[in-house]
Structure 1
Amino acid sequence: MPSRSTAWAPAVLLVLGNLLAQPASAADQGPLPGPYGETLTVDDKGITLSFRDEAARLRIGGKLQLDFGAAAIRQPGFPEPFPDTVAVRRSWIESYLSLGKSLEIAFQYDFADPMRPINDAVVAWRALPDTMLSVGNMKEPFSLDQLSGDNTTVFTERSLADAFAPARNFGFAAGRNGERWTLVASVFGGNANTGIRSEGVAATTRATWAPIRTGDAVLHLGLAGSYRSLPRDAEPLQLSSRSEAFLFARQFVDTGDIRDATGVGRIGLEAAYGSGPFLVQAEYVRTQVERFGGARPLSFQGGYVQASYVLNGRGRAYALVPKYGTTYAIFEGVKVGDAQRLVNGGFGVFEVGARISAIDLDDGSVRGGIERDLTLGVNWYPDRNLRLTADYVRSRTAPSALQGGRAIDADAFIGRFQVYW
């Protein structure tokens, strides 16, 4: 079921976001000096406290994502797909402390997720050239779609294939990069919220190469692999997807509990090409589940192809190196220029996108279902800290994981109001 936030957290984030979206006279009036040489700045990047000679810098930011929508299943006999038509998707407070140029500390807390409120809790060391060492709760280096930030995804939700991405866990990662390539190797345990030792140990590696990176054109290629060994007393493995809409009450594809899993291996292929306002990207992920007692392994797969176009602004920039963690070689969000800001008399920036995605969770005795989705979306960025999204998702699941494998044809409209900094 969709998560509920505390009553006060969205209000606090909304007030701060409204402040940051004000004209230059209100929010961009320059740094305010303090009595000990520190300066306080409030702008579209959040609230920043900088100490003398930039020896230390503390930034506080956040995000609020409010989803609303409606859905219908064409076949009779299924329950209401959206029991809640409005829900808080994310309600974050985040802080970043930079000590000189070599140490970065990040912490993110989501009030809308009572089960896993801690997201990134990372310490990163960058004293060596082109090298970064990170330790803490962070994303494993797997999948371009997953590593892209929640604020910058083209659609409200990631593709069906995101069900295979390991996402955040507690571990150690070492990253290296050149002008066109990156390599991240890592070792992870479980998630900090649910128990670091409870989910076995994973080794995850991702390598990327950009053979074209000139001007506003980028060709990105990536390969990632991960293997996680599962202890005998671990919770049963389960793979599922929420059909690219957070408001769905149940997953149409779901393996259920795989109780005899001993390990999970993943391999992911990714490619993307961006030129000016146009971006196309695709991924394919194959997952193999090893089992006790010599039982035949289970194999599942998924992938997507998506394209986006910024109608009246700059395209998404390619970010080779992050400030911390494992999010190397990703595409950033859409930027809004000063003249385009609604508060300055502009009309904001518009972006359109389309995606086809698929997932196959049927193999052997596991009948998790096969789903294919078509998603069409429009994003409006009226100001630097605001985004309104409208997505239409047409899904076809046959067989499904519901009612003995009945086919499901569903139509969903998803809207999102997002304020972030």
Structure 2
Amino acid sequence: MRSLKHQAVLAALLTGGFLTNTAHSGDSSSALIDKLIERGVLTEQDARELRDDTLQKERRAAEDRYPGLEYEPTLPLRAVNDRIQARKFRVESQDGTNRFGLRGRLMIDTEFADWDKNLNAASSQTDRQDFDGALPERGTYLRRARLGAIGVYDDTWEWQLEVDFRDSDVRFANAYLAYLTDHGRLAVGNFKEPFSLESSTSSRRLTFMERATPVDAYRPSRNIGLMYETLVPNYYLAAGVFGGEGTDRDRDVEEGYALALRGSFAPYMSDDTFSHLGLSYNYRRNSKDFDDEDGDIYEDVRLRSREGARAIDIRLIGRNDIEGVEDFSRYALEAAWGHGPFSLQGEYLRVDLNLDPDKGDVRTDKSRLTLDGYYVQASYFLTGEHRNYRAFSGDFGAVRPNSTFGRGGTGAWELAARFAHADSSEHSRPGRGNKMDHYTLGLNWYPNEDMVFKLNYMYFDYEGRGGKSDGNQVLAARAQFEF
């Protein structure tokens, strides 16, 4: 049992304010304890115990800046007395105001396909055939291989640098600096434009191997920009202005820009139930070059999606880029609901594109194109878990299995189904449009918090430049690990 002197000194430290300022309390309290030892008030054993208590108080004072939000960059280490965490490697200063961590993800895919005989002609895949004129039917692919660092400086500045090694060219994913406020953050750098529930959800947290067809096709990508977003319990707001792909853009052309807005809220939340409603808007002015004879030459716009997996490169929606686009707007309506192990999710997306009237195709009088699509999905955890909805960021977090495989448990098992429709039949060049109905069944196994194995069966009907193709089937699997 601790001595009365020990308790009295600890109370004095607390009431005297030595532990209220985490940036300086360590030096002040330590100096006071040393003086008390010199005067014989405390023994060395008392001092050690008191320093341990002081350290724990400091750690609690510097804990999660946004309590209950699970905002990863600011979360303290799990063990109070640790300064280095091996799993999901983290290092932090004694007072918890400076943190550094390494993070990464690895996704390994395989795919087997049974194509309808008309798909080749319908989708005009003339440059995607193998040596005997048929589309490839199997493949493997390193879908994502990312390594990055994340940190917090002085409990005020957050930063992240993450690169993707999946292709021969290394590319940036996130690369930003952010200033943390009491209710949000202001970030500058390369990151996602805020748009759509499924687009905003990390690839680590998707129910299926790939995002739904209309989301994959119509969402904006990561770009360099300035964005403010809230960090509050029950709703999410984000607004930003973005340039182009600053890490991989043609600097000989005049860069375009985008204005992005997204908002969502949770109308009802309880321990076992969540609801979500959201709205996104994105306006982009297209990049352009200039020619003395032709005037403004706008860059082609790519709004593309594949068959629902990536190990075979079959480009279906958006097979041909759209030419002569001056500007375009994207919209998304979001909704989700969950109760216990069961959840529903859906979105409607639309893109309106304005074409340069001086560069129109003589075969069409269209100056405006509209592309749209939607998806609905449902999932159910056979082992009783639930999806980790995060109202503060308007997305989904990590699934936490009720038991861990290898430690006497089975992990978490999830069944899921999705229907998606995308209509890109309008195009700047007549006959180059396409549309698709896409069905997916999924089985996911989460042996622990950091791993997931996914099996997806897909069936889709397609209509493109060369006609219709029904009954295409794909079986794909993924092994995924994050650290």
Aligned residues: 375
Residue 226 in 1 paired to residue 282 in 2?
Answer: yes
- Select which of 442, 445, 448 maps to 1:377: 442
CA drift of 1:373 comes to 0.5
- Select which of 150, 156, 166 maps to 1:96: 150
CA drift of 1:157 comes to 0.4
* C-alpha distance in 2 between matches for 1:249 and 1:235: 23
CA drift of 1:205 comes to 0.1
Equivalent in the alignment of 1:247? 311
Equivalent in the alignment of 2:271? 215
* C-alpha distance in 1 between matches for 2:311 and 2:376: 23
More helix by share: 2
* C-alpha distance in 1 between matches for 2:404 and 2:264: 35
Contact 1:279/1:307, CA 8 A, preserved across alignment: yes
* C-alpha distance in 1 between matches for 2:271 and 2:372: 35
- Select which of 406, 412, 415 maps to 1:343: 406
Contact 1:141/1:204, CA 8 A, preserved across alignment: yes
CA drift of 1:124 comes to 1.6
Report the secondary structure of 2:245's partner residue: coil
Rate the CA distance shift 1:137–1:383 in 2: closer, same or farther, 3 A.
same
Q: Which runs of 5+ in 2 are unaligned?
A: 1-76, 121-128, 290-297, 359-365
Contact 2:213/2:308, CA 8 A, preserved across alignment: yes
Equivalent in the alignment of 1:42? 86
- Select which of 235, 251, 262 maps to 2:299: 235
Alignment of 1:305-320 (within 5 A): 305-320=376-391
- Which sits farther off after the overlay, 156-165 or 192-201? 192-201
Report the secondary structure of 1:151's partner residue: helix
- Which sits farther off after the overlay, 361-370 or 67-76? 361-370
Alignment of 1:125-204 (within 5 A): 125-127=179-181, 129-162=182-215, 163-176=217-230, 178-195=232-249, 199-204=255-260
- Select which of 109, 114, 128 maps to 2:163: 109
Residue 298 in 1 paired to residue 369 in 2?
Answer: yes
Contact 1:141/1:224, CA 8 A, preserved across alignment: yes
Contact 1:279/1:309, CA 8 A, preserved across alignment: yes
Contact 1:31/1:40, CA 8 A, preserved across alignment: no
Equivalent in the alignment of 1:22? none
* C-alpha distance in 1 between matches for 2:263 and 2:447: 36
Rate the CA distance shift 1:31–1:179 in 2: closer, same or farther, 3 A.
closer
CA drift of 1:30 comes to 6.4
Can you list the C-alpha shifts for 1:197-246, whole angstroms capped at 9, x where unaligned?
A: 66510001001121111222111000110110013225311222112111
Equivalent in the alignment of 2:99? 57
| Matched AA of 1:171 | G
Residue 352 in 1 paired to residue 352 in 2?
Answer: no
Contact 2:139/2:312, CA 8 A, preserved across alignment: no
Which entry has the higher C-alpha Rg, 1 or 2?
A: 2
CA drift of 1:161 comes to 0.9
Can you list the C-alpha shifts for 1:298-334, whole angstroms capped at 9, x where unaligned?
A: 110011001111111421122233xxxxxx2112121
Report the secondary structure of 1:96's partner residue: strand
| Matched AA of 2:178 | A
- Select which of 328, 331, 351 maps to 1:267: 331
Equivalent in the alignment of 1:363? 426
Equivalent in the alignment of 1:325? none
Q: Normalization by structure 2: what TM-score?
A: 0.73
Residue 280 in 1 paired to residue 351 in 2?
Answer: no
Report the secondary structure of 2:214's partner residue: helix
* C-alpha distance in 1 between matches for 2:176 and 2:477: 32
Q: Which runs of 5+ in 1 are unaligned?
A: 1-27, 34-38, 322-327
Q: After TM superposition, where is structure 1 displaced by more than 3 Å over at least 4 residues in a row? A: 28-33, 76-84, 113-116, 196-199
- Which sits farther off after the overlay, 172-181 or 189-198? 189-198
Equivalent in the alignment of 2:22? none
* C-alpha distance in 1 between matches for 2:350 and 2:452: 33
Which structure carries more relative contact order (alpha carbon 8 Å, separation 6+)? 1
Contact 1:94/1:106, CA 8 A, preserved across alignment: yes
CA drift of 1:193 comes to 2.5
* C-alpha distance in 1 between matches for 2:142 and 2:136: 14
Rate the CA distance shift 1:208–1:29 in 2: closer, same or farther, 3 A.
closer
* C-alpha distance in 1 between matches for 2:479 and 2:232: 37
Residue 257 in 1 paired to residue 321 in 2?
Answer: yes
* C-alpha distance in 1 between matches for 2:190 and 2:78: 36
* C-alpha distance in 2 between matches for 1:360 and 1:225: 19
More strand by share: 1
CA drift of 1:147 comes to 0.7
Give the percent of matched residue pairs that are identical in Structure 1 and Structure 2. Answer: 29
Residue 86 in 1 paired to residue 140 in 2?
Answer: yes
Contact 1:32/1:41, CA 8 A, preserved across alignment: no
- Select which of 364, 382, 407 maps to 2:469: 407
Rate the CA distance shift 1:387–1:177 in 2: closer, same or farther, 3 A.
closer
* C-alpha distance in 2 between matches for 1:29 and 1:262: 51
Rate the CA distance shift 1:283–1:273 in 2: closer, same or farther, 3 A.
same
Q: Normalization by structure 1: what TM-score?
A: 0.84
Rate the CA distance shift 1:330–1:352 in 2: closer, same or farther, 3 A.
same
Equivalent in the alignment of 2:116? 74
* C-alpha distance in 2 between matches for 1:116 and 1:264: 29
- Which sits farther off after the overlay, 261-270 or 356-365? 356-365
* C-alpha distance in 2 between matches for 1:116 and 1:260: 30
